[in-house]
Structure 1
Amino acid sequence: MAQLESKVSDLSKENAELKKSLDIEADLSDYEPINATVISRNPDNWNTQVQIDKGSVDGVKPNMAVRTPEGMIGKITKTGAKSSTVKLLSSTDDRNRISAIVQGKAAAYGIINGYDAEQRLLEMKQLPVDQKFTKGEKVVTSGLGGIFPSDIFIGTIEKVETDKMGLSQTALVKPGADLYDLSHVIVLKRTLEGDDSEGAGS
């Protein structure tokens, strides 16, 4: 009975997530959503990456954005025929950079690069030092570079700190997606694909 109840709970969760994914497809007309399931996650690098069950035969390529209905979680870094590696936004790899924008009274551009594991908050760096930010302001992808779609929700600002040199600010951002509990994700495949050689960020 306990096993059956657990299975029903999992199916209910999967059904809810798939319904949410259908709701966001209309907002991504230039992208084909590829629904995938997380099949592996190493406890030693829990915040770094996950493996999904879709690969090159499904049209998945490096640098494609990956999200859940709640928000962006990362990007594809490696692909096999039937599986791929997703590098999470919570990875502390210095090369893991995503161009983003704060949707406040005045738009502000910055880079998602870094993660505070203790607070479970993303770091958005290189924000203008003379601009004021408010807790709760939304952070979304900028779309610069043409690799990722623009306006994918990333999270909301929790607090902002001035860097040690006093030249810019860093915002701590609460992710919209639950990066600790990932089961079903969506890979965004561009309908009219261009050159994927622009780099790792967007």
Structure 2
Amino acid sequence: MQTEATALPEVLLLTPRRFGDARGWFTETFNALRMKEAGIEIDWVQDNHSFSAAKGTLRGLHYQSAPHAQDKLVRCTRGAILDVAVDFREGSPRFGKWVAEELSAENGRQLLIPQGFLHGFVTLTPDVEVQYKCSDFYAPDCDGAVRWDDPEIGIDWGLDGTQPVLSDKDQAAPLLKDAGRPFRFEVKA
């Protein structure tokens, strides 16, 4: 598995190796030993799978706060998405900065998004399936969101002026300046 840091060094882009032959290909999408060798030791407890019918469906920007904060390992298994992570840690020198990576069934890449980061994605094709691992269980009382189009963050979703398909929750999400600050930046020794 190839591991690359993104523009936000805590967010990692992972590319599992694919082994192909005349039948197609095979890949290990998760291997605890390979992750440990790459310095990633996370106990995954929940797998999620979403389907979005329309191109331009946007889900996010979401987070789950303590005591049920989540690391996420995201991959797209059908179609393609632009996957986005935003530093949401109060006191971080990169607070409000974002990174985006295209994940697709074709490229097989995965994005590792740690606790303390907002997460969202927009579908680049119709009929998209996204699967992701979480390091804690879903807890509605810890669930939160920030507006996908917050001008302070300034994410380029690649929508070219078209309005995305949004949930009621995402339409009503607060701006970054009005959202709570459930995460704190900590310098690691």
| TM-score in same-fold range (> 0.5) | no
The answer to which structure, 1 or 2, has the higher relative contact order (CA under 8 A, 6+ apart) is 2
Under a length normalisation based on structure 1, what TM-score does the superposition of the two structures give?
0.28
Q: TM-score, normalised by structure 2?
A: 0.29
